[in-house]
Structure 1
Amino acid sequence: MPGETVLETTRTHVKVLLVPLLVLLACSFAGGFLAAQAGGSGDGWVRWGVVALAVGIALWFAVLPFVRWFLWTYTLTSKRIVEQKGILTREGRVIPLSRVNDVSFEKNLNDRLLRCGTLIVHTASEEQGLLLRDIPRIEDFHRTVSTLVYEAHRRHDEPI
């Protein structure tokens, strides 16, 4: 849009990658151990079967979540909030800041320790609102969005 500048682009906090990392480590360890235990039995087919199973599990439960995390972005511009996600099929959602009625955030104990949280954006047309989960530095992001919403409403309410 003309006159629009990108202020911040972020992803969810890296804490969402902890379980996929543990799965990757477990698959690597278990796959390597079981492949070594299988040795050359069955002309090596057992070993390759174990390796293929470990690689398949690692791809599905570790690499795929990483790619999903990497491609899920939140962009804050001077005029709107944009959420984009998806690997093969992309989805997007745009909320003009002039349509936002309320911006709040939530943090549980883990979020407080990791300095992240959930941003809740309410518009006039939605009852539930948009939840942007696990946003890093949530207080700063909330403050920026609130300031931009205030400015957007002030510009919108000015007489022409």
Structure 2
Amino acid sequence: MAYPDDQLGEGEHVLLHRHPHWKLLVGPLFVLVVVLAGAGFLAVLTESLAWRTPARAALAVIGGVLLLWLVLSPLLRWRTTHFVVTSHRLMIREGVFTRSGVHIPLGRINSVRSRRGLLDRLLGSGTLIVESASDEPLEFDDIPEVDRVQSLLYGAVEEEPDDRYPDGR
């Protein structure tokens, strides 16, 4: 089973499962283009050098490290970050090698707010602010369709458990 299905309890089902907004991938895509174009340009420049093989090997190593660090790492971080609303709780999980997560039962959520700047409004994302029984509000940045998520979460919090499922699940 894949996440979040392997975390669900009896009678619990996923209402929403999102990764952060795709705008987080624009920077790594730009870096990918720049690194590949720069490596190609430098490879052409080294064509006439007597020591072109070591120079190209150094370019390949430097380009590979840059791609791993500035492209693959953010992509993996994006892919392994999950924002999930189930019928019983809100779950956030992130991390590649060391995973961390927050699970908040819907009954413990006091309020749900969102904040959207100009770029967020243009791209359809925003920051979700969840106040629960904990000390400080939790902020989740770059949530796609944040208004829809806020409405869904607010509706799930306000529903009585008996109203949620007519068959008593």
Do the aligned partners of residues 71 and 113 (structure 1) sit closer, same or farther apart at CA in structure 2, a change above 3 Å counting? same
Partner of residue 91, structure 2: 82
- Which one of 6, 17, 40 corresponds to residue 14 of structure 2? 6
- Matched AA of 2:84: T
Counterpart residue number, 1:54: 63
TM-score, normalised on structure 1?
Answer: 0.91
Q: Which amino acid aligns with 2:80?
A: L
Identity across matched positions, percent: 34
**After TM superposition, which residue ranges in structure 1, 4 or more long, deviate above 6 angstroms?**
none
Aligned counterparts of 2:35 and 2:132: Cα–Cα separation in 1: 44
| Offset, 1:126 | 2.0
Residue of structure 2 aligned with 1:115, choices 118, 124, 134: 124
Q: State the shift of 1:47 in Å.
A: 1.1
Deviation at 1:43, TM superposition (A): 5.4
Q: How many angstroms does 1:41 deviate by?
A: 2.9
Q: CA RMSD in A?
A: 1.6
C-alpha deviation, 1:138, in angstroms: 1.0
Q: TM-score, normalised by structure 2?
A: 0.86
CA distance in 2, matches of 1:41, 1:121: 62
Unaligned runs of 5+ in 1: 156-160
Gaps of 5+ in 2: 1-8, 164-169
95, 109, 118: which is aligned to 2:104? 95
Aligned length: 154
* 2:103 partner amino acid: V
When structure 1 is superposed on structure 2, of 40-49 and 12-21 the one drifting more is 40-49
Distance 2:52 2:116 in 1: 55
1:45 corresponds to 2:54: yes
Counterpart of 1:64, as a letter, is: S
8 Å CA contact 1:27–1:55 kept in 2: the answer is no
Written as runs of structure 1 = structure 2, the 5 A alignment for 1:27-38 is 27-38=35-46
